[in-house]
Structure 1
Amino acid sequence: MKRLSKVAILAAVGLLLSSRAFAGNVDTYGIGAKATSLGGAYAAWADDPFALYYNPAGLAQINKPEVTLGFENVKPFLTVNSMSVEPLGVYPTPNPNSPIGVSPGGTSFGSFTDNSATMTIPNFGIALPVSKKLTLGFGVYVPYGLSISFTNSPLNPLSYDSYKSWYYREVFAFGAGYKITDNLFVGATINIGTTQSGVQRYAFGVPLATAQESAQTGLPLTSNAAVKTNLADDHNFSWNLGVMYKPTDWLTLGATYRSMTHTHLTGTAQVQYTNPLTASILNQQLSASTYVDAPDQFQLGVNIKPSDKLRFEVDWLWTRWSVVGGYTVNFSQPLFGLKSSEYFPRNWSDTNTIKFGIEYKPIEMLALRGGFYYDPTPIPSSTFDAQWPDANKYVFTGGVGLNFKHWKIDTDVFYSTTAGNRNVTNSQNLNAAYAIPGILPQQSTDINAKAHIWGYGLNVTYVF
C-alpha cells in the first residue's frame, strides 16, 4: 500500500508538469530519452513505461513499479537560400530599405531564416506490475507535432503563406502488457488526445473595390490582411497494439500497430486589415472548422544481444501519410466577403524508414547509446509550403544511461539535417498565396531551402 501511495503522488506531479507540450516538426523525434538516443529503434526493446507508444507488449518485461519524468528540447533552424515570384514585378509592400532585388518581369528575394523558439516537450510515464503476467501502464506524451515561425511582416515573402504555424497532439495513454508464455507477450494502449492547430498569414491583395468604387469612396483597390486561425479538438482517440516474441536469450522480435486519429478541429479565424482606412469596417471574427486525419503506423523491430555488454536493434517503420490528401477549412461567414471555405491540397505520400540503434555497457551501471535513420519526407514539391516545411532528413542520435539501485538517469542528444537543399518550383500552395481573385492570377514560385534541428533530453526514473 505504501508503494502504491508513492506511485500516486509521483503520478500527480507528472500530470502537473506535463499539462502542455509542443513538438519540433511533423515527426516524432522520440518519446523518452532512452528511445530517442537509440534513434527510435525500440519496437523490440521497449522496456520502460514508453512501451505504451513503441510496443505495449514490452510493458510485460517490467517486473517492478517505476515512474519516469523527463523532457525533450528541440530547436529548428530553417534557411531560405532564395525565393522568386514570377511574373510579379512589384513586391506587395515596396520598401527601399528592404534587401529585395527586383528583376524585370519578376521579384527575387535574398536569403532569410526562421525565428522559431526552442520547444520543450515534457513526458511522463508509469509502469505498474499487478501480477507475474500483467503490467499496467500510464503516460502523458506528444506523439507528433510542429511549431514554426518566420518574421511577422508583409516584407517577408513566405508570410503570404504562413509566418507562424503549429500542429501537435498530446495524449493521455492507458495500456497493459501481458505474458502469454515466458517468451511471448502482447499488449494494447488506448490514447485519449487533444489536438491544437493554427496558422497565421497575410492574404495578398484582397480586392476591396472596383475602380469606380475606389474613385467614389477613396477606398484602395486592394489591401493586405492578416488571417489568424486557431483550432482545437479536445477529445480524440487512437489505439496501439503490440506483440513481442523472444525465441532465444539473444533475439527479440517486436511489432506495433498505431491506429489513425480522426480529428474535428473547431475554433476561430480573425481577419485584420493592415490598411487603417479599411480595418475599422472590414475586420472579421469568424468561426472556423476542418477535419484532419493523423496517419496510422506499423513498426517492426529485430533486437539482437550478442553479449551482456552489447545490444542493437533494426526497425522498419511504415507511416500512411497518404491519409492527408488535403483539407477544407469552413467559415461561419464568407472570408473577406468572398469565400465560405478554403481548400489546401496536400497529397502526401506514405513513407518507409529504417532505424538503427545500439547500446554498449562497459560496466553494469553505464550504458552508451547511439542511433541513426534516414527520414524521407511525405510532402511532395507540388504541395510544399511554409506551413509544413519538411524535407528528406538524416537523423543522428546518442545518449548515456546511468543505473543505480532505485534510480535511472537517461540522456539523449539528436541532430537532424536535410539531405542537401530542397528546391521547389510551382508549388500549388505557394503559387496560390500570391493570387488576387479577379485581378491577378496565381504566380509561379521557386524556393530553395535547407534546415537542421538540434535536440536534447533527460529522463529520471525511480524504480520501487
Structure 2
Amino acid sequence: MSPASLSLAYCLALLWSLLFVSAVSAGGPAHGGKGAGMGTAFAAVADDPSAIAHNPAGIAFQKGTSLYLGGMAVAPETRYESDNGYSEETKSQIFIAPHGYLSSELEWHDVTLGLGLFSPFGIGGRTWPDQGMIHYFSKESLIATFMANPVIAWRPRPALSIAFGIDYLWAYNHATQSVNQSIFQAQDGESSLTADGDGWGWNVGLLWQVNSQYTLGAAYRSGIAVDLGGNIKLKNIAPALQPLFQGPEISSDAHTNIDFPEIATLGIAWHPTTRWTIAVEGEWVGWSSFQRQIITVDQPVADAGFDDMEIVQNWRNSWIAKTGVELKIDHTWALRTGYAYLSTPVPSATLSPANPDAHQHNYCFGVGYTRDRFTLDLFYVFARYQDRKATGDFLNGEYSNQSHSIGFSTGWRF
C-alpha cells in the first residue's frame, strides 16, 4: 500500500472508531423529573411511573392508571488543550431527550402493567470548529438511543413486589471528519458515517418495603447486542487517489455490532419522618463488553485502505454512586437535591475528541408540585468532569468537560 493510501486508511480508521465509540458513550441520563432531582437515586423510591426505567417493581405500589411525560435539554461543553498550549472548544449545542411512561393497576391478583419510552444511554454529541486541528479527528458526532420497555409487576405480598420487562433498543449515530490531503497537494476531503440498528433484551426488578421507614430496591437490565448498518461516504477525494476510487467520491454500506452493557442496581430509601426521604444507591455497568469491533465494508477498495478493519477499544466496567434527598414542604410542594459520581469506562489509550469521557460529578436540584391528580416535577443538573489526559493514537492533550441540563415531567393519575 502506498504512503498516500496508508494516510487515507488511517483517517478512515479514525472515523470508524469515532462513530462507534460515541454510539455507546452517553451515559447517566435522567429518566424522570423527580428521580433526576434526587441524583437518580430512585431504585428504592420508585413511586412514580418513571420507576419503569429505574426499578419496574415500583409500579406495583402505584394506584390506578398514571401517565408521566417530560423531557430534558442538555448543553455540553468541551475544551481541548494540547501539550504545547494550543486549545479549541466545541460549538454551543442543545440536545433534547424526551421520556414517557404509562402504568395501570389491574383489578386482578395485584398485577400492574406498564410501558416506558426513554433514552437509556442518552442523546447528545459534539461539534468542533471547522478550523484548527481537531476537525481532522472529529468534526461532528451525534448519538441517539431510544428504548421501548413494556413491563409487568406483581405483589405476591403486601410489602413485596417483583417485575419483569422486555427491552427494545434502537441506536442511531452520525459522524463527520475532515480528511487532510495536503500530502497529495489537494484540498481537504470530507468523510461521513451514518449508522443505526436495534436489539432486544430484558429487565427485572424487586422492591421490598421492610417497614414504615426503610425500603430496599434492586434492578437488573440485561446486555443488548445491537447490529448496526451504516453508510460511509468520502467526498472531494484527492486527484492522486481518484483512479483507485473511480472518481472524486465514493459511498458504501458498512456493518458492525455493539454489545450494550448489562446494568445492576441496588438501593435503599430511608423515611425518618413522613416529610423526609433519603436515598442511597449503587450501580454497576458492564462496559467491559466493549473491547473491540470488526467493521465490514460492502464495497471495499483495498489498495486505498478503504476496507474491513478491527478497532480496539478495551473499555472497562464502571460504577455509579448516588444519593438523593426529598423534603415535602406540605401536601403541595417538595424540594429535592442529590449527587452522583460516575466512573468512566474509557481508558486513556482509546480516548477520542468525539468522546473525551472522564470521571463525572453530577450536582442535582429539583422541585415538585402536586395538586389533586396532577404532578409537575422540575430539575437542574450540573455535570462536572475531571480533567482527562489522552495518551493514545488520536489527539494527545487534556480535555475538560461540563454540561448543564434542565428538564421537567408532568403526571396525571386517572
| Other-structure match for 1:256 | 219
Letter in 2 for 1:37: G
Answering whether residue 268 of structure 2 is matched by residue 305 of structure 1, we say no
Letter in 2 for 1:463: R
Distance in 2 (CA, whole Å) between partners of 1:224 and 1:329 is 25
Pairs within 5 Å for 1:56-75: 56-75=56-75
**1:400-444 deviation line (CA, Å, top 9, x unaligned):** 01111010001111000112x21222x13x0xxxxxxxxxxxxxx
Distance in 1 (CA, whole Å) between partners of 2:269 and 2:181 is 57
Deviation at 1:58, TM superposition (A): 0.6
Answering whether residue 131 of structure 2 is matched by residue 158 of structure 1, we say no
Q: Which runs of 5+ in 2 are unaligned?
A: 1-21
Task: Identify which of 233, 238, 246 aligns with 2:209.
Answer: 246
Letter in 1 for 2:124: S
SS at 1:363 equivalent: coil
SS at 2:192 equivalent: strand
| Other-structure match for 1:454 | 404
Identity %: 23
Instruction: Decide which structure has the larger Cα Rg and report it.
Output: 1
Answering whether residue 8 of structure 2 is matched by residue 31 of structure 1, we say no
| Other-structure match for 2:375 | 408
Distance in 2 (CA, whole Å) between partners of 1:450 and 1:123 is 29
SS at 2:304 equivalent: coil
Asked if structure 1 preserves the Cα contact closer than 8 Å seen for 2:360 and 2:384, the reply is yes
Task: Identify which of 191, 194, 199 aligns with 1:227.
Answer: 191
Q: Structure 1 residues 268, 387: CA separation in 2 closer, same or farther (over 3 Å shift)?
A: same
Deviation at 1:146, TM superposition (A): 4.9
Deviation at 1:365, TM superposition (A): 1.2
Answering whether residue 50 of structure 2 is matched by residue 50 of structure 1, we say yes
Asked if structure 2 preserves the Cα contact closer than 8 Å seen for 1:57 and 1:185, the reply is yes
Asked if structure 2 preserves the Cα contact closer than 8 Å seen for 1:143 and 1:169, the reply is yes
Deviation at 1:148, TM superposition (A): 2.2
Pairs within 5 Å for 1:166-315: 166-205=142-181, 220=184, 224-233=188-197, 235-273=198-236, 275=238, 281-315=247-281
SS at 1:47 equivalent: coil
Letter in 2 for 1:460: T
Q: Structure 1 residues 236, 66: CA separation in 2 closer, same or farther (over 3 Å shift)?
A: same
- Counting matched residue pairs gives 388
Letter in 1 for 2:412: Y
| Other-structure match for 2:126 | 149
Q: TM-score, normalised by structure 2?
A: 0.88
Distance in 1 (CA, whole Å) between partners of 2:263 and 2:298 is 35
**1:3-45 deviation line (CA, Å, top 9, x unaligned):** xxxxxxxxxxxxxxxxxxx999611321011111111101111
Distance in 2 (CA, whole Å) between partners of 1:282 and 1:359 is 60
Letter in 2 for 1:68: Y
Asked if structure 1 preserves the Cα contact closer than 8 Å seen for 2:29 and 2:119, the reply is no
Distance in 2 (CA, whole Å) between partners of 1:32 and 1:24 is 21
Letter in 2 for 1:162: S
| Other-structure match for 2:323 | 356
For structure 1, which segment, 156-165 or 134-143, has the greater mean C-alpha deviation from structure 2 after superposition?
A: 156-165
Distance in 2 (CA, whole Å) between partners of 1:118 and 1:374 is 23
Distance in 2 (CA, whole Å) between partners of 1:418 and 1:29 is 15
Deviation at 1:380, TM superposition (A): 0.7
Distance in 1 (CA, whole Å) between partners of 2:263 and 2:357 is 19
SS at 1:340 equivalent: coil
Answering whether residue 289 of structure 2 is matched by residue 323 of structure 1, we say yes
Deviation at 1:54, TM superposition (A): 0.7
Pairs within 5 Å for 1:370-381: 370-381=337-348
Distance in 2 (CA, whole Å) between partners of 1:240 and 1:37 is 24
Distance in 2 (CA, whole Å) between partners of 1:462 and 1:283 is 53
SS at 1:334 equivalent: coil
**1:82-105 deviation line (CA, Å, top 9, x unaligned):** 225xxxxxxxxxxxxxxxxxxxxx
Letter in 2 for 1:260: G
Distance in 1 (CA, whole Å) between partners of 2:45 and 2:277 is 10
| Other-structure match for 2:114 | 137
**1:45-94 deviation line (CA, Å, top 9, x unaligned):** 111112111111111011121111111010001111x225xxxxxxxxxx
Q: TM-score, normalised by structure 1?
A: 0.79
Pairs within 5 Å for 1:77-116: 77-80=77-80, 82-83=81-82, 108=84, 110-116=86-92
Distance in 2 (CA, whole Å) between partners of 1:152 and 1:394 is 27
Answering whether residue 338 of structure 2 is matched by residue 338 of structure 1, we say no
Distance in 2 (CA, whole Å) between partners of 1:243 and 1:149 is 37
**1:225-253 deviation line (CA, Å, top 9, x unaligned):** 322110111x4112110011112111100
Asked if structure 1 preserves the Cα contact closer than 8 Å seen for 2:224 and 2:262, the reply is yes
Distance in 1 (CA, whole Å) between partners of 2:143 and 2:63 is 37
Q: Structure 1 residues 109, 339: CA separation in 2 closer, same or farther (over 3 Å shift)?
A: farther
Letter in 2 for 1:392: H
Asked if structure 2 preserves the Cα contact closer than 8 Å seen for 1:113 and 1:150, the reply is no
Q: Which runs of 5+ in 1 are unaligned?
A: 1-21, 85-107, 208-219, 431-444
Q: Structure 1 residues 52, 292: CA separation in 2 closer, same or farther (over 3 Å shift)?
A: same
Distance in 1 (CA, whole Å) between partners of 2:369 and 2:29 is 22
| Other-structure match for 1:105 | none
Distance in 1 (CA, whole Å) between partners of 2:406 and 2:123 is 17
Letter in 1 for 2:400: K
SS at 1:348 equivalent: coil
Asked if structure 2 preserves the Cα contact closer than 8 Å seen for 1:412 and 1:457, the reply is yes
Distance in 2 (CA, whole Å) between partners of 1:147 and 1:42 is 23
Distance in 1 (CA, whole Å) between partners of 2:189 and 2:296 is 18
Asked if structure 1 preserves the Cα contact closer than 8 Å seen for 2:160 and 2:208, the reply is yes
The Cα RMSD (Å) is 2.3
Deviation at 1:393, TM superposition (A): 1.3
SS at 1:333 equivalent: coil
